[in-house]
Structure 1
Amino acid sequence: MAIPDYKLSAVLCGHSMDVRCVSTTKDYCILSASRDRTAILWHPEGVKDFVNVVTYKGHKNFVSCVCWLPPCESFPEGLVITGSNDNTILGYTLQDGAVQINLKGHDNAVCSVTPGRESGILLSSSWDSTGRVWNINLPQMAPIILKGHQAAVWALVELANSVYATASADKTIKMWRKDGALITTLTGHTDCVRGLAVASNDTFLSCANDASIKLWTNKGECLNTYYGHTNYIYSISMNPGVDKGFASCGEDGSVRIWSGGDCVCELRLPVHSVWSVTCLDNGDVVTGSSDGLVRVFTKDPSRFADEATLKQFDQEVEKMLVASQQDFGGFKLSELPGPEALLDPGKSDGQTKLVRRGTNVKCYSWSAAENTWNEVGDVMGAKPASEGKTMYQGKEYDFVFSVDIKDGAPALKLPFNKTEDPWVAAQAFIHKHDLPQVYLDQVANFIITNAKLDSLPASSNGFADPFTGESRYVPGSTAVPGLPPPSAADPFTGSGAYTTASATSIASTDKPLVPYDSYIRFDQANLKAIYDKLKEFNSKVGDGLSAFTEAQLEDIVKLGEMNCTYSPETITSLKQMLEWPKEILFPVLDVTRLAVRNKDINAQIFDTTHGPTFVKYLLALLTPDNTAANQMFAMRVMVNAFSDLPGEMLVLAARESVVHSLICLPQMNNNAQIAAASLLLNLSVALGQQSDTTELVDCIIELLNKITDKEAYFRGIMALGTLLAESPNKLMIQTKIVSNLPLHNRLKTDSTSADPSSQKIAACSQQILRML
């Protein structure tokens, strides 16, 4: 019987990084887990649409797996279960995302969670080479540990004959009794076994990095081997919509539908890694992939996406197929290994490996001392550049290194040719990115080490061997052709954060400014001035409010130090001080915006009990009848709330109210404009890949039409450009920008500006106009 063609039904946008796992729950709901540290519940709406109804947060690292644990004695409503690279397992209530259980015990990343066949039984597996069996109804009971594999256990399922089966990176499958005793070890796969699925009461399936699928009896006999994929197979799921059917996905960017052991349908996605596949009861196929999207495919014509969406999808797939044929030093992109290749240790210190990341190729070097692969830089296709060269921003280089300057910030690109003096290249890099001058030796030595320079190039411009020091360039001693003069501090992180005078050089014009991909915050402070102001206002407190002692004031101000130590009583005092009259409140808000940068304080200020009320309190300070100082500092508190997950979560939950409050603000001074634009930029970074950002876009455009401060305007167009670059609803944003003539005309004017103080605005405007 022929299987009707599957076609795209829906694209679900909500995650900002790879979707590593998808699974199903009751009523055709979908669960997805992502490297962005969240899981999402998608509820069907209408014939073919799904909406994000709950986002589950709480993990400190990537969420690698998710499942639905059906109702049991302890949790009659059931639980959403997630496993993470933070080595923990969390269980949430389905409807509101409240954490109910936190299971600790694995010593490494948790890579699979799935329910057992009995009520309340949860199975998990980990990179720590074990599987575990948890009884959720008896939390005091220690889990049964399945120990015997020599490498990561990628999957664990319970077969119909009450036997556990585990799949491992040691290329084997092991079968276990309920008490954890090993029954037998199955061999046959020639590479990591990645997934398992119960096929019937008597059989189960396995998939592996050897691009094969095997059918086994519950007693361990291999009945058949199926081939079709051309690369690693990551996930396999039974499909109730196909007779004896299942679906599989993998590193070849495809999903394959099988019936009776035959591949009857191949679905190509515009990605290289399809990490996970699951099937709904109606036979629809759900995927999670490396582009951060969840996709639903169907064979029912009534659930097909509209023609425009199908056409766009086909074009994206075609573009990906063309890119996969690009040549990289004699290899096609499709022939290079994906990121899973980095799971295998290097054979010698300094060994390099090319790894495919989407349509890009990166070079990694093995560090024996750190026992890890370190990213060296990007590798570009051989066709656009001369043999052995790398294209970067229109020029050819021997190397393009990725340099991590600051934790959590994107790596900076450092292009270099072997004919260059490494100190000159290092100095140009420092000037370009406004880095401290003390980085010079570190950057230069990085170049020498990673470019493996046995000797330094002869110099014709006065530069000699820097190891001897003779004629070595001393920054500031003389002008160097091609290098700009030292610039002012970066207002995102440096001394220009509160002023507009230093807004001349956040970034150079040749570096892409959007999409921006990290949160900004206000760090600068004068703690002595804050203390003096609090002391002054403390003497004026009345109306039944207690004044604070000098010692208490000192402790409160110390909360503004990034790595402060404090007592619970001091946090209580700060909360009490926030009750001061609005006329003397602003220094208290200033301390608060500094304090919430601290991870632990952020968690206390924005906890689930008091945090929502505090956010409402901040929003109340944004009303037009409040003081300008309170409005500005309330916005700064919300900007810095993004320093950690609790604050980020609550501000995002209140985003509609935040946007509405910003629109209603009266004329703002320069500092307030910068605070408002910064808040919109953080919201745009967080929500860039979501489709429902209409109100946020409207707010940004309205604010841009009122802004007079250059730094605030720059941050505003960064926010707009980030949404334009990442949003799945680009047409809506394009239409709003083009139809708003004042903004559109200003972008055109700014894009051609030769004013040095508007250099970064011109660069960002150019990038936005190119996307239109």
Structure 2
Amino acid sequence: MAIPDYKLSAVLCGHSMDVRCVATSKEYCILSASRDRTAKLWHPEGVKDYRNVVTYKGHKNFVSCVCWLPPCEAFPDGLVITGSNDNTILGYNLQDATVQITLESHENAVCFVAPGRDSGILLSSSWDSTAKVWNINNPSSIPVTLKGHQAAVWAIVELNSGLYATASADKTIMLWNKDGSQVKALTGHTDCVRGLAVASPETFLSVSNDASIRLWTNKGECLNTYYGHTNYIYSISMNPSVDPSCFATSGEDGAVRVWSRGECLRAVPVPAQSVWAVQCLENGDIVTGSSDGIVRVFTADPARFADAATLAAYEEEVEKVQAASKQEIGGFKLTELPGPEVLLEPGKSDGQTKLVRRGTNVKCYSWSAAEHKWNEIGDVMGSNPASEGKIMYQGQEYDFVFSVDIKDGAPPIKLPFNKTQDPWVAAQAFIHQHDLPQVYLEQVANFIITNAKLDTTQTTPASNGFADPFTGESRYVPGSAPARAAPAADPFTGSNAYTTAAHSDAMANKLIPHDQYIRFDQANLKAIFDKLKEFNGKLGDGSVALSEAQLENIVKLGELNSTHSSETLALLKKILEWPKEILFPVLDVTRLAVRNKEINSALFDTTNGPAFIQYLLSFLTPDNIPANQMLAMRVLVNAFSALAGEMLVLAAHESILHALLCLTALSNNAQSFNAFSALAGEMLVLAAHESILHALLCLNALTTSLLLNLSVALAQQQDTSDLADCIVQQLNRTTDDEAYFRGLVALGTLLAESPNKLQIQAKLISNVQLNNRVKKDAAGQDTRKIAVCSREILRLL
């Protein structure tokens, strides 16, 4: 068959944020759903143009999915169906956008909606780990719930055999009978399964974050696996107008791919990092929704190609995006580097290093034969051909920006470097800047030499004419000066952190952008042990109490460098099942334990970790006990202490942001305090390490701490609009200075480093309440760090 040559046909602008879903309705119209909380109907005008004729409003959060439900008995004109992060499904009149039905059975964000094969049947799936089957002819009836997945359910389809198939973030596909009973679990994908499509009367297709497509029989046998994408695949749509086996896919590699009989016929570039959704039209055209907020239509019919000027502008956009994606790290293209799955394989020799792609970032790992594990060295950032081989860091251009782990348990520190510099001088400047012990000089210099791939014959530490930039003498050598202890001041609360007005610029540079994860370390292990022992003695209903020695071993897991056995870790997991009324000391041990890399890896592994994340999220609801809310949030903050926890928190960040948006600050809710007054006295037992009762008044500070860590991790990602939205809302409702300050740092970090900072700028400028507050704080002198941070944000705007 002739390979179709798809080109741009139309560009549909109107959404102000990511377009997460596209679908079709009657009369060849296009439906789109966006994070701007709306859905839109686009009507074809002429041969290749579309016009936005209706906008559907009513959701209180992102609109994540949309579909057309054909006419049925109850709604003879059909319905436009939308699902949202506000946990609801709305059904609209197609023409005038009036809300006809509201469905509220899901307990978390609704991420997928689609019509069933029978009239009036609607399918939905959610982050609450379930899918549901609704009878719209009787909207008040109880939906059939498909419950069995361990993580978010991203899609559901009805197969020609009459079974339902669901795709989940737990890496499985499940088949279900119509009564909701489970038939079979299908395994094979190695990452989150994002989309499904019926391929034929006997088969269906699945797409996954593992960048693969699988063809299955309706009975669950995997017939084939197709590869072609280089990153996550988010969406799939059949295109039978080309041929019965033709389909299109889209994903995180900035392209739509057209397939037939398992072969990728064409890759159509899209000038956006994330192509969230793809939909094939009846005429063979392909529609996409992407992270730049634009709906695009592509066609293989020359009669519907866009005009020459539009095509030329589009090709220029594509070239710019592709040039940015060719960023090189240590001589390797970013897209050519392996993902974190390579760390599952042991190293071949002690000291072996690997560069690992993590989204748009790269981290360096070193194999420790003694510990039998990969240890993270730090971030590695390289040159961008689009900017003449340089990258920007704090307003200056560098060949590399490394992130160096100086001390176990402490966050890494950024180290910018140009190839024209002497690595030993750069290392000495780095040590001087951060007041580090002089004994680190050789370690830092060798790190630069290795990762910048410098000629070692030109970089020996012997005197060769280079002068120490601080004394004028030859460079320092290890041990030539007494070691100085690095200051322990917390940059947020330390008394020596940021002081006089004369250093405002230096203070701003240290504050924004922030590049280190924060962590909650303070604890009184004896007080925690006493509380665990007290609650352990009160267990009833046949629960088996632990011995005092077992409890002591569990508490020792909270020591930063603790040694532990698998039996003790299993006991910790067991007491995490205690009743929620007595759970808070267990959560407190857990938030300390996850600082340990080995414990972090065990709790947040790919097998049990997603369920553990959902367990923590279950406490972040307005009706939960404040102590559990506070400590679950601290566990999530401290999860960033190691790779496993960091990866899973980032994978679930949309669910976390949704929970934070829904969580009302209980410090302003007198009823919540009264409801738990009986526990207040018990909570004060832990006052020595940090009173949980006092923490209720600081819940906003915990929220902004978690948002700050997410900002550090995601600042350079293409899509941070949901994170920025959450930060803005949190800043508008907090009155606590420390919480407000951390929120400002988080927002400033996004403004300084986000590739889509224009969206964040527009959000801040348009938010009158926050905009006025930032301007007022920038002019004030009462709280120095807030004033400096506010001025820096205004400068970035």
Q: What TM-score, normalized to structure 2? A: 0.48
Q: What TM-score, normalized to structure 1? A: 0.49
* Larger helix fraction of residues: 2
